[in-house]
Amino acid sequence: MAIDDTALAPVIASHRFGLSQLSLASVGTDPRAWVLGQFRRPLLFDTTGLPDSTAAAELTRLLRQRSEPQSEERQRLRDGNLLSLRRRWQHQIETPTPVYERWVMFWANHFTVAAIKSSTAGMVWPFENEAIRPHATGSFATLLRAATVHPGMLFYLDNAQSIGPNSRAGQRRARGLNENLARELLELHTVGVRGGYTQADVRELARLLTGWTAGRAPQDEGVRFLPALHEPSSKTVLGRSYREGPEALDDVLNDLARHPATAEHLADKLARHFVADDPPPALVQAVARRFRETDGDLLHTAEALFGHEQAWVAHRPGKARRPEEMLLSAHRLLQMPMGTPAREIAALTAMGQPLGRAPSPQGWPDRQDDWLSPDALLKRVEWAVAMGRSAGALADARQLAELAWGPTLSSETRTQIARAESGAQALALLLASPEFQRR
């Protein structure tokens, strides 16, 4: 059955760009306006009462300083993480602006901080709340700075421990320069692997970043610049010279944000995430051009991406949803509140996405080959069956499929659901279907 653009557009808005609407009618008669309007009027996440980076840093400092087991501090750290995650998930399940939430998730993944060491055990959600959410539709340069000097990033990529070899501290200590943050700033966060930088640029940028640290002593309050750790003299990055001192940080980040390769890198990554594994070149070029023309204005960048005709074309077989996206979409379709997240965390881990613990600074991968191996597909089916058993009585899967996909639902999926022996099996079949598994 051929599907016309009028029928396809609401499905793309709901499932490709958003987190699945219970009914396509909620998208309205102008799906593009529904998507773009979310960036002008997003429902912001209320972080009141959630642990912040200062509280997380204090708990981890106490754990490091005391030799005896600190079960109370560890439990407080775990409880804080679970509370933050549950509140975030519930917001994403209930929000009327799910496309905006997907946008925030993209940037939080672009600037990954992972809880893979004690210093970042409580930093993942404060990093998202403090560095990403407030700047997600502002200037990319502002977002870049907020992410770079957040204590979560300084700890995760070891800049908090980086010391200029010729600084006052470097001349007294064996520890020295750490290049991790500088390398990822160039390779992942800005110009990308094709951006023309060299190892010499990485080292010079690492020298420039020395002095920016966090939590080095109990009296420290957040991020600070310590001149005693800073490598003296000027530095040269990508052919530009930067002065000694803390002012160089803004100078180099502004230059990296405006570098032509940064526009290309970000446009390609955005189009790949939201549209197709191999995005249309015309779409990438249009997004990059708007990014450059508006000096990295992320609101205008979003409008260029979601307003482009190539973003609304069917790309078969469609992007594979990440496990967390599947979880959130299922709860939204079923209007099912998020309970204690322990079971969901275990299910996501089994499907290859342990939340808060991305495998590398590159974050979670974005191509179907990374998510749809035979074993991963089996785990997804097992998750769908488990969801069917626990939530099969909450909705009629046949009616839900028609409401949420309309005429784009394939005859094969429609037939399988219709022949299901129970509500649980019908829901499992819907959640395991290509329509739900891809976007």
The model's pLDDT over 387-407, given as tens digits with 9 standing for 90+, comes to 999 998 889 999 999 999 999
Q: Say what the pLDDT of residue 36 is.
A: 98
Residues in CB range of 217: below 8 A, 6 or more apart = none
Q: Say what the pLDDT of residue 98 is.
A: 98
The model's pLDDT over 347-380, given as tens digits with 9 standing for 90+, comes to 999 999 999 999 999 999 999 999 999 999 999 9
d(CA 381, CA 258): 44
Q: Say what the pLDDT of residue 221 is.
A: 59
> Which segments of 218-358 does DSSP mark as H helices, in order?
247-258, 260-274, 281-293, 298-306, 323-334, 342-350
d(CA 252, CA 238): 10
d(CA 439, CA 418): 22
- HEC secondary structure over 35-61: HHHHHHCCCCCCCCCCCCHHHHHHHHH
> Which segments of 16-137 does DSSP mark as H helices, in order?
31-40, 53-65, 71-94, 98-110, 124-127
The tally of CA atoms less than 13 A away on the side-chain side of residue 434 is 11
Question: Parallel, antiparallel, or unpaired: how do β-strands 240-242 and 235-237 relate?
Answer: antiparallel
Percent share of the chain, pLDDT over 90: 89
Please, are residues 172 and 285 in contact by the beta-carbon 8 Å criterion?
Answer: no
Burial class (CB in 10 A: 0-12, 13-18, 19+), 316: exposed
Q: What is the largest CA-CA distance in the chain?
A: 75
Neighbours of 267 (CB within 10 A): 24
Q: Say what the pLDDT of residue 47 is.
A: 97
DSSP symbol at 212? E
Low-confidence ranges of the chain (pLDDT < 70): 1-4, 66-69, 174, 216-221
Q: Say what the pLDDT of residue 316 is.
A: 86
The model's pLDDT over 410-421, given as tens digits with 9 standing for 90+, comes to 999 999 999 999
Q: Say what the pLDDT of residue 1 is.
A: 40
Nearest to 304 by CA among 272, 254, 270, 255: 270
